[in-house]
Amino acid sequence: MGTSKFTNCFLLFVLVTLASIIIPTLAASVVDDNRGLDRVHDLMPLNMTSRRELRGRRYRGPCMATNVIDQCWRCDPNWANNRMRLADCGQGFGRSAKGGKGGQFYVVTDPSDDNWQEPRPGTLRHAVIQKVPLWIIFARSMTIKLSKELIMQSDKTIDGRGVSVHIAYGSGITIQFIQNIIIHNIHIHDIVTDSGGMIRDSVDHIGFRTANEGDGISIFGSRDIWLDHLSMSKCSDGLIDAVQASTGITISNCHFTDHDKVLLFGASDITQVDKDMKVTVAFNHFGKRLVQRMPRCRSGFFHLVNNDYTHWEMYAIGGSHEATIISRVTHRDAPIAEWSTWTWVSDGDIFLNGAKFVPSGNPDGARIYASLELIKPAPATQVSLMTRFAGHLGCRIGRPC
C-alpha cells in the first residue's frame, strides 16, 4: 500500500461504553486493502504540495502563531519572563492542566540518570519526584538517557523552551495515578525497554517496577494532562499510550514521525474502565514513515480537530469496541456484519481524485453530536498552516518564540 495523506478539519470520536462517534471535515481517497483490514481510507489534503514545501524550509519571518493555543503565548518576546502564562493556554479536554503553575522553578543542570533510587539534585529525575508544584526548565541544551522509566509526581511542568532537550536512547516517561501535568517543547525518541526493578517514584517512596515496554509517554490512571509541541519518533512500543481510566488529556502541536503504533487510547476491547476517557488531539502533524494508530481509540470520548496527516502505511484513525463514527475514517476493527450497524457518516468532507466513502449506521449522527466539540474546527484548507510549527520550537530568550 502506498503512502497516504489527509488533512483533518474536525474529527469528533466518541465511544460511550460500546459506542464511538467521529465527526471530521477531511479530504479523502480510498485504496484497496492488502493487509486484511475490513476498510481502509487513504485521506488526501487539498494542499499537500505546499505543506511539504513549508516544512522543507526553515521559517525566518516574523512570529506567526497559527492556531488558538499558540496565539495565547508564542509571539510575546518576554515569554521567558512569564513562562507560567503557558498554563493558561490549554484547550480541549486537557485545559484544566496547570502543571507547576504557582510553584517554584526547578532548573535541570545535570543530564545524567545513573542513580534511579537516589537521584542527584539538578537532574530531571530529582525534579519530577518532588511532592510540590514545580515548573521545570533546563540550564542548557542536553540529551537525557533515562536508565529506568521516569515516574512523575503531580503538579509538574517540563518546559523545554529556549533550549533543545532530548529524552532519548533510554527509557520513557510514566504518568501514573497522578494529575496536573504539562510536558512542553522537548524531543522524545529512540525509547527502549528496560528491565524494571526498584525505582524511586517520590521523595518518600521506592517501589518495584516490572519491565517497561518502551512507550515514549505512558499515561495510566491519570487526569488533567497536556502534551504540547513535542517531537516524537522511534519508540519500542507506542509514542503515547493513555489507558486505565485516564482522562482530561490534550495532545496538541506535536510532530510524529518514524513509528509503527503512534497513539493508543484505551487498553482493550473488553474493559469498561476507559468508558469515561476524554482526549483532545489538535493541531498535530502526523508525518513521515508512520504506520498506524493516529490514534487507535476504544471506549471513551475523543475529539480530533485540525490535524494534518501526510503519511501512513496501514491506517490513520482506527476504532473498535462497536464504534459509532461520524467521519471519514480509516479502519473498522471488526467483520462487516458487525460494523455495518455502527454509525459512520461523512460530514462536510471534500473528496478528490475519485475518492469515496461508504457510510453505515445512523446518517444523522453528525447533527446529533455537533454540540460536543470543544475546539471549533477551521476549514480543511487552513490545516497545513495551523500545523506548520508543530513539534519542537527553536525558541530564543528575548525573542518571540
Residue positions annotated with a catalytic role: 293
**Position 232, amino acid:** M
**Position 379, amino acid:** P
CB atoms within 10 A of CB 195: 9
CB 111 within 8 A of CB 143: yes
User: CA-CA distance, 311 to 318, in Å (whole number)?
Assistant: 15
Pairing of strands 41-42, 27-30: antiparallel
Nine cell digits for residue 300 = 471513551
CB 101 within 8 A of CB 133: yes
Cα torsion 165, 183, 300, 348: sign: negative
Closest residue by Cα to residue 275 from 4, 6, 15, 13: 15
The span from the first CA to the last CA of the chain, in angstroms, equals 39
In 194-250, which residue ranges form alpha helices assigned H by DSSP? Answer: none
* Greatest CA separation for the chain: 62
User: CA-CA distance, 8 to 254, in Å (whole number)?
Assistant: 14
User: CA-CA distance, 210 to 195, in Å (whole number)?
Assistant: 7
User: CA-CA distance, 236 to 33, in Å (whole number)?
Assistant: 26
Helix, strand, coil shares, percent, the chain, to 5: 10, 35, 55
**Position 95, amino acid:** R
Distances (CA, A) of 360 to 37, 94, 272, 338, 357: 17, 31, 25, 11, 10
SS3 382: helix
Task: Classify 46 in phi/psi space as left (phi over 0), alpha (psi -120 to 50) or beta.
Answer: alpha
User: CA-CA distance, 293 to 324, in Å (whole number)?
Assistant: 17
CB 168 within 8 A of CB 145: yes
> In this structure, what are the phi and psi dihedrals at residue 176, rounded to the nearest 5 degrees?
-130, 120
